[in-house]
Every structure is written in structure tokens, then in C-alpha cells.
Amino acid sequence: MSTKTTLLDYQNSRRKRDAEADASPLEDGYWRRKKLTEMNEREWEALCDRCSKCCVISIEDADTGELYLTDVSCKLFDTKACGCSDYANRKQYVSDCVKLTPKNVPKLDWLPRTCAYRLVSEGKDLFWWHPLISGDENTVHVAKASVRNKTRPEGRLQMPGLIKRITRWPAPLEKPPAKYRKRRRIRR
């Protein structure tokens, strides 16, 4: 088996800058009409739901190609904040942090099935918890779609330790919980 560090540089893709488009408000449902290649910087960045499942280490069986997810995160991941603790300098510490682009998204088999980039590249809609639909950054956690507070850092773990941490991440909630629905109106 070999490890794959599933890291995503979604904030730093070299997309064409279009100051006017970047400054304009996001159009409702733009991800249903535009391909990844057609999105401007702002639209591209807004597509990330900040679930951070891409900062969790997966293990690939070199013989079968099968991927196993763990609950071990990249060493720079801050599980409480659910984000990178040193995004600006991450490459110094994590050289294999992968830059996400419209071209590589369809090839990155370790991207979670719920990843918004993957969904759009497969012609699918976003889930109810996505901030672009809910209008609330917190819904990704409400839906249990994120890894917030659910990971431990890789530290000095070697392969045998990683294998013991293989886990099955629970499926996110299909609908908003009733308590949440009463407080918010989820847009579709």
C-alpha cells in the first residue's frame, strides 16, 4: 500500500483574472449553467463548501487501486477551525498539496463524492448544505458533511498506524434537520 495525501489548493488556481467579473455579485445557480472552465475566480472559490475532506489522508492499495479513507489529517490541518493552519506557507511543509484545476478535477479519484468541484464536473447539483444554496457557511457542519473536530493529525504515524485509522465517513444528512428548517429557509 502507498499513502496519498489528499490536499487541495483550491484557492490558488491560475485562472484568468477578470476584475469586473470578480467584483460582481454571484449569480444565483451559476454552477448549474457554467462549466468549471467557464467560472471566474470568485465563482471558483465560492464553489468550495469548506468541508475539508480533501485534507484527510487516504490510503491506496497499490495492487487494486482501491482507496481507503482515514480520519487522519494532513499535519497542517486545524480540525477545530476546519481549515489549513498555514495556508500561505503550506508548500514548505506539505509539498504534495495538490492544486485543483478544471482539468485535474475529473482525474482526482480521491476527491470525496460530495466535493462541489467533483459534483459540478460530473454535471450534478450541489447538496442542500452547500453555502451557495443554504446561504449559511455553517450548514456543511450541520449536515455532518465536514471533518470538523473529527480528525487527528498525522504526526509520526507510519503506515501500520495509518491502516488502523481507516474509517468509513458517515453519509451527510440528506435533508436539513427539522430544528434547522424552522429557523432557515433553504433555497433551491
Positions that interact with ligand SF4 (CB under 6 A): 7-8, 10, 48-55, 74, 76-77, 84, 87, 90, 94, 97, 111-112, 115-117
Q: Residue 94 or residue 133: which is nearer to ligand SF4 going by CB?
A: 94
Q: Residue 98 or residue 178: which is nearer to ligand SF4 going by CB?
A: 98
Q: Residue 80 or residue 179: which is nearer to ligand SF4 going by CB?
A: 80
Q: C-beta of 116: minimal distance to ligand SF4 in Å?
A: 4
Q: Residue 39 or residue 55: which is nearer to ligand SF4 going by CB?
A: 55
Q: C-beta of 14: minimal distance to ligand SF4 in Å?
A: 17
Q: C-beta of 28: minimal distance to ligand SF4 in Å?
A: 19
Cβ contact 5:94 at 8 Å: yes
Q: Residue 29 or residue 64: which is nearer to ligand SF4 going by CB?
A: 29
Within 8 A by CB and 6+ apart from 40, the residues are 15, 16, 18, 21, 22
Per 3-state DSSP, the chain is made up of helix, strand and coil in percentages (nearest 5) of: 30, 15, 55
83, 61, 62: which is closest to 74 by C-alpha?
Answer: 83
Q: C-beta of 63: minimal distance to ligand SF4 in Å?
A: 26
Q: C-beta of 11: minimal distance to ligand SF4 in Å?
A: 8
Cβ contact 79:150 at 8 Å: yes
SS3 79: coil
What span, in angstroms and rounded, lies between the C-alpha atoms of 54 and 28?
A: 26
Residue least distant from ligand SF4 (Cβ): 7
